[in-house]
Structure 1
Amino acid sequence: MSFVEYSELIQDEDVVIIFMGHDSMMPIKVQSGAQTQTRYGVIRHSSDLIGQRFGSKVTCSKGGWVYVLHPTPELWTINLPHRTQILYMTDIANITLMLELKPGSVVCESGTGSGSLSHSILRTIAPTGHLHTVEFHSQRAEKAMLEFKEHKVSHLVTVRNQDVCKDGFGITGVADAVFLDIPSPWEAISHAKKTLKYKGGRLCSFSPCIEQVQRTCEALLDHGFEEICTLEVLLRVHDVRTVTLALPDFGPEECYADSTQTASDLSQEDVNTSVICKTATPPREMAGHTGYLTFASKPRDQKCE
């Protein structure tokens, strides 16, 4: 099992996702002889999980059943243990796209937090890329290193426990992209510029307050960054429902071949046909987002200062 490679069979020490419903999932680490309690009963790791195929339907001790899924960054984002507030896939998808990440990219990230974005970055840049992630909090950094090792992606990532605003990322002139999720990203812009390749690169900063965005944009301009733009990504969920539409009965097509009568000319008595169909309606009110994404480019002809 690896978050960047797919395996057919569940093995001892794998991390799997127990799927009990679209709003009910949990990650577990498979261990020989261990058991996991669910509302459908007990899952015995040795007999019910090890050696089974990912995606299998497993019957629990009470007769209920669950699916055992291969972990993915999307599933991990939904189920990970929260050490900090995290980014979700709506933002992560745009970050991956706008930073132009691809296999082989070198990426710098601060802070690591709960590792939600980190796992998506690692899948995108595998198998030859590398992630340099910086976390100020020592316990969170240690936990992140342990998770990367358990998820078999530690060869793709370097975790540093330091203050990125003071000490930078620990590398110079090798990164294709930089991501900042820290309280004062403007203080790290100079380090981000030194970290990016001489031929240029992309930067993204996530901030919950527009005042932070303003100060970050000013710092980006002062350091010569271009193509600066800020996005707020909103997810609009439509309500799908069944409706009945009353339609006029025009009769056989040939009856109206030479007629100038239109649907508006028909009286209420002419409306005698109804159609049942599905429709989708957006919400009347939509909650705001938790933050803003600011993107910028380092020009190709700038050198690190």
Structure 2
Amino acid sequence: MSTMTRAIVFDEYGGPQVLRLVDLPDPVPGPGQVRIRVRAAGVQPADSKLRSGAWKSWAPVTFPGRLGNEAAGVVDALGPEVTGFAVGDEVLGPANGAYADTVVASVKLLAPKPAALTWSEAGALAASGQTASTVLEDLAVKPGETILVNAAAGGVGLMAVQIAVARGVKVIGTASEANHEFLRGLGVVPVTYGPGLADRVRAAAPEGVDAALDAAGGDALEVSLDLVGDRDRVGTIVDQGAAARLAVKALGTRRSGSRLAELVALAAAGELRVFVWKQFPLERAADAHRESEGRHVRGKIVLMP
């Protein structure tokens, strides 16, 4: 007998109001997959871009669209050829369509949930954490160097600055004044964004800046390029158009079980903290998107089915 799962869908591009809750048949895990009863699903800025149609030229949605690409929960069914996981295991990792009560995911991309993480923290780790890890790799950031992170208090920014600090990298982070003390507590040298940014960064890093990550948009890339000079060591995760125009790196993410396991180990050791800004029940996904788009989020927003 098939059972149903609640899921968030949308039938057209638009504002948060296009999101609606529906009942769908429970997904069935295929070869190498498990089904997860979702306890927490992270809300990404990318979800809003997909929903609004901002990315439709290169990432079109097939309607009815589904959102969410990271989750934490309890394994409740195994597909064929699955080893190393059992029903009842607590896991986290990438899962498409994670705004739902249940979701299927590839076991190659999952990691066991450590007891040190709450459900909401575990649900918000995989996507931003793996993007941050990939970015630092692609910008070739090494111990003893200095990196500028624009939007250091955002979801990816917070992960990137902590991973970099743990590796012995000096981090300059742009953020609003309200987040400066918070960032200092993570070992970051905070600077205010806006006019005069380059001068403030030079004062904070008189030895120079070796690499720069833009997670903010706007004129952050131009300023970063001015400070770093080397186009191979400047990149953005938010502005592909500017990356092409300035011939710097348009940065993405690479996901793997091993990359996630490294992040989980850092989190379990207390060297990588997951900051959850707010939690919303699944049926309030539209409110979660409105909060996310308010641009005053420190860390991540999480849906709790």
TM range (shorter): 0.3 to 0.5
Tell me which protein shows more helix as a share of its residues.
2
The TM-score, its normalising length taken from structure 2, stands at: 0.37
Q: Which has the larger radius of gyration?
A: 1
The TM-score, its normalising length taken from structure 1, stands at: 0.37
More contact order relative to length (CA 8 Å, sep ≥ 6): 2
